[in-house]
Structure 1
Amino acid sequence: MLGLMKDLQVKIQFIILFLLQMSQDLILGQLHYMIPEESKHGTFVGRLVQDLGLEIGEINSRMLRIVSRDEKEYFQVNLQNGILFVKDMVDREVLCPTIPVCVVSLQVIVDKPVQIYHVDVEIEDINDNCPVFSAKEYSMSIAESRLPGARFPLEGAFDSDVGTNSITSYELSTNDYFTLEFPKYIHQIRSVELVLKKSLDREKISVHNLTLVAFDGGKPRFNDTTQLVINVDDANDNAPTFNQSFYQCRVTEHVAKGTLVIKLNATDMDQGKNGKISYVFSKLVPLHVVSIFNLGQTSGEIRVNGELDYEDNNVYEIHVDAVDHGEPQLTGHCKIVVSVVDINDNPPEMTLTSLSVPVPEDAPQGTIVAIISVHDKDSGKNGKVNCRILQPSPFKINPALKGDFSVIVNTELDRETQSEYEIVITAEDEGFPPLSSSQTIKVVLSDVNDNVPLFLEPVSTIFIKENNPPGFHVYTASASDSDINQNSFITYSIIESTIGGIPLSSYISINADNGNVFALVSFDHEQVTYFQCHIKATDAGFSPLSSNLTLNIFILDVNDNPPAFVSHFSSDISAVKITTSTTAQPGQLVSKVKAVDLDSGYNAWISYKFKDLPVDTPFGISAHTGEITLMRAYTESDSNVYKMAVVAQDHGEPPMTAVTQLLITFVNSGEGVKIENYYHLRKNENEFSEENIYLIISICAISSIFLVTLISFTVLRWQKYKDEVNELRENYRIYSDTVGSWVYSQQSQCKFYLNSTQAKNDLIVFTPNGVQSSVSEDNNSTGHGIIQNLLYQPKHPHPDWRYSASLRAAMQGAVHVEGAAILRGGPVGLEQQWPTVSSATPEPEGGEVSPPVGAGVNCNSWTFKYGPGNQKQPVPQIPPDFPENFIIPGSPAIISIRQDQPSNQGQKSNFITFGKKEETKKKKKKKKGSKNQEKGNNAVDNNDQ
């Protein structure tokens, strides 16, 4: 029962150890496969590519490969389907002779980007080895005096397999004296002991022949047997005894020879030679252990005799026997476990597993550049290694799995700043003193198209003279690129646009290789003065980069166009006929010539002069305006016809000219003067060019808004005024002839005001002087009285009238023609109120023209009166565009302006008549005022203009 419990305990310990080892493998490896040992070539291990999350197509493109620390490659990947298979047969006993769990570690590396995976392939042990005893027969002697319970170590069998395939149990042939005990250490049986069950009796049985069988736990189950020959000795019945059956000690590796490891102590209760003890290594101690340690036979001291290396073996198990000198010899047994203490005697070993160069300069942060495997044979802190990069660098090193370190990009790279780096990587362990090793890797940066071509200036201006030859080189565009090779190869092109609807490529071209810009056509300043060209510089990188240059091109004017005369009144501009009056005064404008030049600037600045002009010519010309004026009055000695040549010359280099002929004829004042030349010329000046079209549109828009506002205001005022007039008509009903005198301004303007606002004194209508008693006595008379006064005939103005002071007050405000009674009725009819002049003024003769007197009267205005003697009273000139008939709003009178036929002096006479709307009333009044009207008309006709 006790044996079964021990067996169960050993199995539980083995399972726990196995699970811990498996969990450690799972943590350290990303993939874990298991295959039985001695698998043949081509044996399926696992779907490596799929299990790593990669695509089948990435096997070749990303250069998947397997790196193993072992010199022999046991596994290989099928590049077609990504399956990991056995390349060479693996013998676990050869690969891992002393390790219970045999794992082959693989590194799977892919590029673009660089990634590393760890794959562990556990070689599963198969039961391919049988337990083997070192001899087929063992002989031993046991004194008959040994008490039950005495133990005798036996040399067990050896099995190369591990785990359940190793030796799991022993069986001893059936007997009454002996039994077996085989304590298990960790996962297998390390020793076998023969236990005495009851006392021996040499007289009964002197020799015991037993069979020992060793079994493994594999399937199928193998075993091996050996014969135990036990001789029962009589005599020395006390065996030496160690003070402890199990010893543990520690020794540092690489200690000097002769260093004491431990001193054993055994005693024997016997006396004499039966109590004398000698120490010897047990037969169970391997030979290589015996060569490393030395055991003093009498002292029991174990000293170092060879080289201790922790990396080769860190634990030694030594069995020592204490043998007395009795007959027979009795032996005591003990076991010593010597642990080797590691020292930091191995520097880290660095291996460059992968190097991905050149590195693109736009590699993102974290890009793996290289993978370095670091291994230190030491253990603990002595075997813990840290890697670092000592000098400043845009790279840093990160720890990966199971002693691997990756060199990654830490900051942005710029090939234009530095194109390559030498990275010194130092690996240092944590031992004392620390050991280190270094390795230098060279990282070259590859160029990426990350720099745009740059012009010296983003905007440039050039000037080209017109009439240039086609194909003329006008400019060279030059850009630079900081990249190299293909990324720095620049081509030039022109961004297409139009100039007046014509493609820009019709005007200029550019050499794509050197940036030379050529003019394809001969430019004409008169057609194109300025245009803009955008030149594009593009590199040949992948995704190309570009930048633009704005080229302002100005076409310089050349004096290649002569002046040309223009005329709107004659189809023949080379000879123009002009007539002027013989009575024209000096300084009077006769005509005007105008020439235009298609050039610009000084080349279009024109001056005028007469060519070969006689000295006595009465005409002169303005050099800048071309206006021809009369320099002196015409005399009878002058010719009636002058033929002159006018030269128009620009200010270009060399200057260019144009000539036109003028034929100026003097005519009498009655024959009519053709002054339309001037008006046509003036009209030509007012013609607007295309440049002013926007200004004119703006003026028209503002004028339209103003006109709409004015019309709206006028309509409102007109409606208000119409209501007032209708009210006056209902109250007064005044109808009268409109006669009197008027004042016409020198500016030939006639203004009428339709509202009650005070107006300017351009047109003033006066009432004639007469008897006013009736009106003054009856100021509150009704409209009937006023109508009754209309029956009286108006009187002539007294020849002695003068302007009086009362006229000033009357002239300060405008006289309204809104239907109010301007003509006042008297006892004998309508009576005009004529102004009088103060007594200080000399009395003028009848019909004399006198200037108006009073404040607010234009000093250039004139008044006239009816009366005798005014033979040549001047009549104001009527504007040619003044309407012949117009109606004063609100008034029953119609003002009629008519022009008679030319008189004997060849001048026109202008008349202004005031008539009524109602013809019936006009006929009734016509007889009464006929005499006065005829006299007034005669006076006007006799006046010169």
Structure 2
Amino acid sequence: MEVIASDKGPNSLTGQCKLTIQVADMNDNHPEISIKSFQSPIKENIELDTVIAVVSVSDKDSGDNGVVDLHIPDNMPFKLRESSDNYYELVVSEPLDRERVPEYDITFTVTDRGSPPLSDNETMTLELLDVNDNVPQFPQSFYTIRVEENNAPGALLSSPTAFDPDLHENQYLVYFILEREIANTSMSMLFSINPENGNLYALKTFDYEIEKEFLFHIEARDSGSPPLSSNVTVHIIIVDQNDNAPVIVSPWRAHGSVVEEKIPRSTDKGSLVSKVIALDTDSVHNSRITYQFLQVTDATLFSLDQYNGEIRTMRMFSYRDPRHQRLVVVAKDNGQPALSATVTIKLSTVETAVKAYSDMTEVPLEYDIFSDLNLYLVIGLGSVSFLLLITILVTIVIKCQKPKPSKAAPPCRNSVISERNSSIADSTLVSNDAYWYSMFLAETRKGKMVVRQPVPKGSRYIVSSLPRGTGLTDTSGSAASTLQASTSST
């Protein structure tokens, strides 16, 4: 710029100079952002380093006041890449997941380098499109479902529902029972599942005694393209109910529920009378059986083990106890409510033969073992023994009174000399003393008297048989009753 100065004289004089004025820039203009392109929405499975936006920036100031910088927040899966002066590209730097972050609000901030710096920003929303990249998910990998037996057909058992975090058709699930045969029976004949909500139903009534459990798989499949699916294992456990009453298998009953048993009246205390055995086809808990008396003729005479069903005597029978006892035993299971079965045992006591003396000495007899009949038998045996003892004593006395031999006895007297261990049928003549007593009794019962005389040498005996009442000197009539034999001399 030139400056001219002149005076006011007639010959005015002038002067000039060149003046340069420099205007210093002030940072009085804000930088500007221009979104040239922005792609939204984008698929969540977009590839890395893909450009989704182009942004330009400018500033009217000069110098450092016109130098600008563009940036976005650090916590985003994107980055800015400078393509040319004041042009930037927004690219994907990390994988995107719509199920985790469905959309992003991206704020572009431009700042100049003035002092103080000025800035400007603009926010754009980036929406992610769903892709069928998630399989259906069950809350648990194994389902245990307990079903009580005798269930009603069509009853709802459970709802093993799956979840898919995708959207729309990618989230719509259909449920199936994977076919599997058990004992030539398909699972679709036993169970049914609602394909829309996964509700599981029973198609038949189950019986624990026949079918105790089932194991199969349920599949959940989405409607995406391509469809994704997952399955879960289902374990159906049939729970037992107390629907079976105990069955008494011992003692065996031919007709009805009455059993007749016999037991010796001399049975000892603690002896096993009978054993009741009952079976229950229910499960372990419901099949536990206990036994007890429902009726008993004499509660002091029998005991019943509540766990094994053994009936034993608590004492010995006495003559006061009835010969017939009636025991009613009930077998009860452990169910709720409890079921039971009964058996009636008619017990009859019978008399047994009297034991030998050696056996009687081993076991002491109690007072009440004697009945009226036994008492009479003991008295009779005692009387016979007493009479036998008297007879023995009389015989000994007669034996000791030996008659003197008569010199007037005729030589025709019938006599025999018996050898040792010899015998004759009529008078049973023997030569040793051990048999003398029996021979004496035999001859005495026949109405005869027997006289024994030793031979001088003492090795043999002379035995004579005479009719009873005949004197030693009387020989008449003896020939008819004596045994004819030749006399042997020593």
TM bin (shorter chain): 0.5 to 0.7
Q: Give the alignment partner of residue 206 of structure 2, picking from 523, 531, 548.
A: 523
- What per-residue deviation string (whole Å, max 9, x for no partner) do you get for residues 120-139 of structure 1? xxxxxxxxxxxxxxxxxxxx
Match of 2:36 in 1: 352
Match of 2:290 in 1: 607
How does 1:601-640 map onto structure 2 within 5 Å?
603-615=286-298, 618-635=301-318
Cα distance in 2 between the residues matched to 1:619 and 1:433 = 114
Q: Specify whether residues 349 and 652 from structure 1 end up closer, same or farther in structure 2 by C-alpha distance, changes over 3 A only.
A: closer
Alignment of 1:397 onto 2:52 = no
Structure 2: which amino acid aligns with 1:414?
D
Higher relative contact order (CA 8 A, sep 6+): 2
- CA drift of 1:518 comes to 1.7
Cα distance in 2 between the residues matched to 1:622 and 1:436 = 99
- CA drift of 1:471 comes to 0.8
Alignment of 1:413 onto 2:96 = yes
Cα distance in 1 between the residues matched to 2:299 and 2:119 = 120
Q: Specify whether residues 572 and 366 from structure 1 end up closer, same or farther in structure 2 by C-alpha distance, changes over 3 A only.
A: farther
- CA drift of 1:587 comes to 1.2
Match of 1:12 in 2: none
- CA drift of 1:654 comes to 3.3
Match of 1:475 in 2: 158
Q: Specify whether residues 631 and 437 from structure 1 end up closer, same or farther in structure 2 by C-alpha distance, changes over 3 A only.
A: closer
- CA drift of 1:447 comes to 1.9
How does 1:332-347 map onto structure 2 within 5 Å?
none
Cα distance in 2 between the residues matched to 1:259 and 1:506 = 110
Alignment of 1:486 onto 2:169 = yes
Cα distance in 2 between the residues matched to 1:351 and 1:506 = 64
* TM-score, with structure 2 as normaliser: 0.53
Q: Give the alignment partner of residue 510 of structure 1, picking from 177, 193, 199.
A: 193
Q: Specify whether residues 421 and 635 from structure 1 end up closer, same or farther in structure 2 by C-alpha distance, changes over 3 A only.
A: closer
Match of 1:653 in 2: 336
- What per-residue deviation string (whole Å, max 9, x for no partner) do you get for residues 576-614 of structure 1? 554433332121012211001122355323232445433
Q: Specify whether residues 440 and 558 from structure 1 end up closer, same or farther in structure 2 by C-alpha distance, changes over 3 A only.
A: closer
- CA drift of 1:514 comes to 1.9
Cα distance in 2 between the residues matched to 1:487 and 1:592 = 70
- Percent identity over paired residues: 37
Match of 1:218 in 2: none
Structure 2: which amino acid aligns with 1:423?
I
Alignment of 1:596 onto 2:279 = yes
Partner SS state of residue 398, structure 1: strand
Partner SS state of residue 195, structure 2: coil
Structure 2: which amino acid aligns with 1:526?
E
Cα distance in 1 between the residues matched to 2:338 and 2:231 = 42
Q: Specify whether residues 618 and 436 from structure 1 end up closer, same or farther in structure 2 by C-alpha distance, changes over 3 A only.
A: closer
Structure 2: which amino acid aligns with 1:444?
E
Cα distance in 1 between the residues matched to 2:160 and 2:2 = 88
Preserved CA contact (<8 Å) 1:644 1:663: yes
- What per-residue deviation string (whole Å, max 9, x for no partner) do you get for residues 871-928 of structure 1? 9599xxxxxxxxxxxxxxxxxxxxxxxxxxxxxxxxxxxxxxxxxxxxxxxxxxxxxx
Alignment of 1:443 onto 2:121 = no
Preserved CA contact (<8 Å) 1:575 1:662: yes
- What per-residue deviation string (whole Å, max 9, x for no partner) do you get for residues 655-707 of structure 1? 32223344545455579xxxxxxxxxxxxxxxxxxxxxxxxxxxxxxxxxxxx
How does 1:600-749 map onto structure 2 within 5 Å?
600=283, 603-615=286-298, 618-635=301-318, 644-667=327-350
Cα distance in 1 between the residues matched to 2:299 and 2:66 = 127
How does 1:131-142 map onto structure 2 within 5 Å?
none
Partner SS state of residue 170, structure 2: helix
Partner SS state of residue 165, structure 2: coil
Cα distance in 2 between the residues matched to 1:446 and 1:661 = 82
Alignment of 1:366 onto 2:49 = yes
- CA drift of 1:466 comes to 2.0
Structure 1: which amino acid aligns with 2:248?
F
Q: Specify whether residues 437 and 662 from structure 1 end up closer, same or farther in structure 2 by C-alpha distance, changes over 3 A only.
A: closer
Preserved CA contact (<8 Å) 2:265 2:349: yes
- CA drift of 1:495 comes to 5.1
Alignment of 1:582 onto 2:265 = yes
Partner SS state of residue 399, structure 1: strand
Q: Specify whether residues 302 and 347 from structure 1 end up closer, same or farther in structure 2 by C-alpha distance, changes over 3 A only.
A: farther
Preserved CA contact (<8 Å) 2:241 2:286: yes
Cα distance in 2 between the residues matched to 1:359 and 1:465 = 53
- What per-residue deviation string (whole Å, max 9, x for no partner) do you get for residues 411-452 of structure 1? 343334442234344567899999988665432111234555
- What per-residue deviation string (whole Å, max 9, x for no partner) do you get for residues 616-651 of structure 1? 895443332211223333456666665654332224
Cα distance in 2 between the residues matched to 1:367 and 1:496 = 46
Cα distance in 1 between the residues matched to 2:133 and 2:162 = 15
Q: Specify whether residues 622 and 480 from structure 1 end up closer, same or farther in structure 2 by C-alpha distance, changes over 3 A only.
A: same
Task: Report how many residues are paired.
Answer: 342
Q: Specify whether residues 473 and 259 from structure 1 end up closer, same or farther in structure 2 by C-alpha distance, changes over 3 A only.
A: farther
Q: Specify whether residues 644 and 451 from structure 1 end up closer, same or farther in structure 2 by C-alpha distance, changes over 3 A only.
A: same
- CA drift of 1:500 comes to 7.2
- CA drift of 1:408 comes to 0.9
How does 1:760-799 map onto structure 2 within 5 Å?
none
Preserved CA contact (<8 Å) 1:566 1:573: no
Cα distance in 2 between the residues matched to 1:384 and 1:563 = 99
Q: Specify whether residues 417 and 872 from structure 1 end up closer, same or farther in structure 2 by C-alpha distance, changes over 3 A only.
A: closer
Structure 2, unmatched stretches of 5+, are 4-14, 20-28, 361-490
Q: Specify whether residues 394 and 577 from structure 1 end up closer, same or farther in structure 2 by C-alpha distance, changes over 3 A only.
A: same
Alignment of 1:559 onto 2:210 = no
- What per-residue deviation string (whole Å, max 9, x for no partner) do you get for residues 449-496 of structure 1? 455545555566554332110111132334444333223323344455
Match of 1:121 in 2: none
Q: Specify whether residues 646 and 352 from structure 1 end up closer, same or farther in structure 2 by C-alpha distance, changes over 3 A only.
A: same
Cα distance in 2 between the residues matched to 1:614 and 1:535 = 63
- What per-residue deviation string (whole Å, max 9, x for no partner) do you get for residues 717-769 of structure 1? xxxxxxxxxxxxxxxxxxxxxxxxxxxxxxxxxxxxxxxxxxxxxxxxxxxxx
Preserved CA contact (<8 Å) 2:265 2:351: yes
Cα distance in 1 between the residues matched to 2:247 and 2:134 = 57
Partner SS state of residue 604, structure 1: coil
- CA drift of 1:565 comes to 1.3
Preserved CA contact (<8 Å) 1:490 1:537: yes
Match of 1:744 in 2: none
Cα distance in 1 between the residues matched to 2:135 and 2:326 = 73
Cα distance in 2 between the residues matched to 1:488 and 1:625 = 62
Structure 2: which amino acid aligns with 1:656?
L
* TM-score, with structure 1 as normaliser: 0.30
* Aligned residues: CA RMSD: 5.1
- CA drift of 1:410 comes to 2.2
Q: Specify whether residues 622 and 441 from structure 1 end up closer, same or farther in structure 2 by C-alpha distance, changes over 3 A only.
A: closer
Structure 2: which amino acid aligns with 1:445?
L
Cα distance in 2 between the residues matched to 1:668 and 1:499 = 62
- CA drift of 1:544 comes to 4.8
- CA drift of 1:395 comes to 1.7
Cα distance in 2 between the residues matched to 1:575 and 1:259 = 148
Cα distance in 1 between the residues matched to 2:214 and 2:186 = 12
Preserved CA contact (<8 Å) 1:597 1:604: yes
